[in-house]
Amino acid sequence: MKTPSVKSNIKKQTLIFNLAFAIFFFGMTSFAIAQEDTIRNILERFAADYKNDPMFTSNHSFGVEVDKEMWQVEAFAATDKNVSEIRIAKGSPVKPTFYYVTNIRTLRQLDKGEINSLTAGVKAFSTDYAPFDIEVMDGFEPNQQFVGEVLGFTFHFWTKGMPEMVPFGPHFTRGTHGAQASIFYYDTGLRTGYGYLHPGQHANEHPLSKTNPFSSMIILIKGKVTARLNDIDYEIEAGNAFFIPPGMTHEVLNPNDEPAEFILLMFGEGA
């Protein structure tokens, strides 16, 4: 039997290595293309839905950074002469503007309606992590109305369907301020959401969370809580709502064995 030469073995090993590298390279390339197509397709689905949104009345230019990769979106509202148009392209916006920061997993959750954009972006403090955040590019100078306007736009662009519905309940929440919360809607002077307290949870225990410069109303819809207002405890049962004036310290505790659920309204100047 003829024994293969060393030279022949080297050639075979080289061929195998090259083949393996080619499979890996083209596999990774295909994955990258598929990933890109998925991001583009998701953005295009949101854009197609937003084109028919009655709140689409002004132009917007913004970015969407998904896993460190930037996409630009230009939305042109309908006029007497032109229909609405939304353009999506890979790359950074040409002019400084705001942009969303997220990842493909969260983007897919938004696409499927498993979480809404405002809930994905909720955080107690600016230094907290959120899987869907808003940043501004260097050179972009937002006006005083920017926060309210961009949060309202965020809801409408990233919420599909008519009417625009927000599912809520324990499974649609994220942790913030010591409680679980999902956001309904934000606008200038208005914040609304759903809250859930597991047994033992203590909302607004952190000193920086205890007061707001605007009014709040908590509507308890299930269970019982202890409302600690200006360090005085009040027992509140479902079926009751209580008002919190601006500047009043407020904590909400659930020392009971059953969970508690509530609707939160925050309103007035600064909300």
Q: Tell me whether residue 254 is in a domain.
A: yes
Does residue 186 have a pLDDT over 70? yes
Cα–Cα distance, 42 to 52 (Å, whole number): 17
Average the pLDDT over each of 26-40, 59-73, 221-235 and give the range with the smallest value.
26-40
Is 188 part of any domain? yes
**What is the average pLDDT across 102-110?**
97
Last residue of a domain, one of 158, 190, 210: 158
**Do you know the residue count of the chain?**
271
Domain co-membership, 150 together with 86:
yes
Note the pTM of the prediction, 2 decimals.
0.84
- Identify the domain boundary among 158, 184, 202: 158
Map tokens 């090993």 to a residue: 13
Provide the residue range defining the domain that includes 175: 170-267
HSE-CB of 206 using CA atoms within 13 angstroms: 9
8 A C-beta contact, residue 70 and residue 91: yes
Q: Quick one: 89 and 146 in the same domain?
A: yes
137: in domain: yes
Query: Which percentage of the chain shows pLDDT scores above 70?
Result: 87
Counting Cα atoms < 13 Å in the Cβ hemisphere of 157 gives 27
Indicate the residue type of 77.
A
Distance CA 94, CA 64 (A): 13
Nearest-angstrom CA–CA distance, 243 and 229: 10
pLDDT average, residue stretch 36-55: 94
Residues 153 and 174 grouped into a single domain = no
- Residue 16, pLDDT > 60, answer no
Q: Are residues 62 and 125 in the same domain?
A: yes
Do residue 191 and residue 153 come from a single domain? no
| Residue 16: inside a domain | no
Phi, psi torsion values for 201, nearest 5 degrees:
-75, 150
Mean pLDDT calculated for residue range 126-150: 94
Mean pLDDT of the chain: 91
Residues 6+ apart with CB under 8 A from 139: 96
Do 99 and 137 belong to one domain?
yes
How do residues 48-102 score in pLDDT, each as one tens digit? 999 999 999 999 999 999 999 999 999 999 999 999 999 999 999 999 999 999 9
Tokens of 138: 């260097």
Q: Which CATH number do you get for residue 83?
A: 3.30.1050
pLDDT band at 35 (very low <50, low <70, confident <90, very high): low
Domain for residue 41, yes or no?
A: no
Number of domains within the chain: 2
In a domain, 108, yes or no: yes
CATH number of the domain at 234, please: 2.60.120.10
Q: How far is CA 31 from CA 23, 25, 106, 264, in A?
A: 12, 10, 18, 43
Confidence of residue 204 (pLDDT cuts 50, 70, 90): very high
Shared-domain flag, residues 111 and 176: no
Beta strands in the chain (DSSP E): 60-66, 69-76, 85-90, 98-102, 133-136, 174-176, 179-187, 190-197, 202-203, 215-222, 224-229, 232-237, 240-244, 250-253, 260-267
> Does 65 share its domain with 154?
yes
Residue 12: inside a domain: no
- Residue 31: is its pLDDT beyond 70? no
8 A C-beta contact, residue 21 and residue 62: no
pLDDT reported for residue 17: 54
Say yes or no: 67 and 116 in one domain. Answer: yes
Q: How far is CA 263 from the centre of its chain?
A: 19
Q: Residue 239, SS3?
A: coil
Query: Among the three residues 158, 190, 217, which one is the final residue of a domain in this structure?
Result: 158
Amino acid (1-letter code) at residue 123:
K
Give the C-alpha distances (Å, rounded to integers) separating 232 from 87, 248, 251: 55, 11, 10
| Same structural domain, 184 and 240 | yes
Judge whether 250 lies within some domain. Answer: yes
Q: Does residue 199 share a domain with residue 147?
A: no
Q: Please indicate, yes or no, whether residues 153 and 183 belong to a single structural domain of this protein.
A: no
